[in-house]
Amino acid sequence: MSTFIKDFIERETVSRRNFLFAAAAGMGAAAMPGLLGSGNARAALTDPAIAWSYRDRASAYWNSVVSGGEAFVESLGRPKSALVSLINEGSTEKSLADIKAFLAKNNGNCAIACDANDSPNARPVVEAVQAAGAYISTIWNKTDDLHPWDFGDNYVSHMTWSDEKPAEETARILFEAMGGEGGVVHLGGIAANNPAVERLAGLKNALKDFPKIELLDAQPADWDTQKGAALMASFLTRYGDKIKGVHCANDNIAYGVIEALRAEGIENMPIVAYDGNPEAVQMVMDGQLLATVFTNPHWGGGISAALAYHAAIGTFKPSEEPKEHREFYGPTILVTAKDAAEFKAKYLDSVPAYDWKDFWGPSNGQIQYKA
């Protein structure tokens, strides 16, 4: 037998014995707080630490979400830095690990706002928060069978945006600009993302009322400008002059589409986008885009943190609220050429001051699930 294997077996034998000791000690320790009274039965927290768990700082969208969170903590008289950023960088594992670490560090005295990065991750995140006696509000990602009301007060709320209706509206604007006939292509988000699915579904709904419009192709451009440009170029090879209009799943893709068309010397192609980023709003004003949709991420970021915080300190009791206050749609505002200037002045040039205790004012009704 090689020494390596022998050493390995010896080490494993020893560590198994140690493990049994440690386990016995651990179970004793775990039982102690139970005997001394549960830590999870706290009715309300005092001065909880506030965190936002989100994807990254590299996009206008998440920056706007965080700016809302910061505006909220400032309204409490705390500095911006009182909002802790838990950046998951698109990793589900990091999302959950960071939240658990934050809970442990603050001993459960936390109010957390979170996008769980992917739908299945919302459940372990919420369960960890409940086990620690903390409070959480989520946005965007959760599975349909996960509901705040199944977790008492700790899972305060979930907000998402229904993109189907607004995407349908942008499609109608596009089709009318095309004169009600011709071919259209759709450049989508990452195929499995819920907003990508809904935005394409919206386009398809609008198609029913425009029989002379043909959807030539719909392919994912992964929310990305460069991918959008390359995909649009390939579409031009495949469909050429048949393309009379372009439906984009977000603003970033639309920027790429406009550049791909610019390279070919094609101007005045009707294009619609989504997200209402400042550059896109400017393009609507300049006539390069027909429409985009604003989802007010600043308000969403602030109100999610506010909901978790106020539930934590006992301003309201989530379990006594109706279901439409636990699961609801965020606001959507359609931006077109005729209202772009007004919109820009109201929402982009100066950020409106929101009442962070008006939790549900701008919201858009209870979330509906498709059977």
Q: Which helix (H) or strand (E) holds 292?
A: strand 291-294
Query: Which tokens in the block code for residue 129?
Result: 């928060």
Give the x/- contact pattern for another protein in 60-99, rule: CB under 8 A: x-xx------------------------------------
By CB under 8 A, is residue 57 in contact with another protein?
yes
Query: Which tokens in the block code for residue 66?
Result: 């965080």
By CB under 8 A, is residue 207 in contact with another protein?
no
Stretch of residues binding another protein (CB under 8 A), selected from 7-15, 51-59, 156-164, 362-370: 51-59
Report the nearest approach of another protein to the CB of residue 291 (Å).
19
- With respect to another protein, which residue has the nearer C-beta, 238 or 317? 238
Site for another protein in 122-141 (CB under 8 A): none
Q: How many chain residues interact with another protein (CB under 8 A)?
A: 34
Nearest to 328 by CA among 193, 64, 165, 140: 140
- With respect to another protein, which residue has the nearer C-beta, 219 or 315? 219
Nearest to 256 by CA among 286, 288, 232: 232
- With respect to another protein, which residue has the nearer C-beta, 178 or 253? 253
Phi, psi of 10 (to 5 degrees): -60, -45
Got the DSSP string for 99-162? Answer: HHHHHHHTTT-EEEEE--SSGGGHHHHHHHHHHHT-EEEEES---TT--GGGGTTTEEEEEE--
Report the nearest approach of another protein to the CB of residue 368 (Å).
27
Phi, psi of 249 (to 5 degrees): -80, -20
Binding residue for another protein (CB under 8 A) from 259, 333, 339, 360? 259
Site for another protein in 155-174 (CB under 8 A): none
Report the nearest approach of another protein to the CB of residue 267 (Å).
11
By CB under 8 A, is residue 229 in contact with another protein?
yes
Give the x/- contact pattern for another protein in 260-279, rule: CB under 8 A: x-xxxx-----------x-x
By CB under 8 A, is residue 190 in contact with another protein?
no
Query: Which tokens in the block code for residue 266?
Result: 């094609």
Query: Which tokens in the block code for residue 3?
Result: 């020494």
Q: Which long-range CB contacts under 8 A does 19-27 form with residues at least 24 apart?
A: none
Nearest to 96 by CA among 69, 115, 70: 115
Residues near another protein (CB under 8 A) are 57-60, 62-63, 191, 217, 219-220, 224-227, 229-231, 233-238, 240, 255-256, 259-260, 262-265, 277, 279
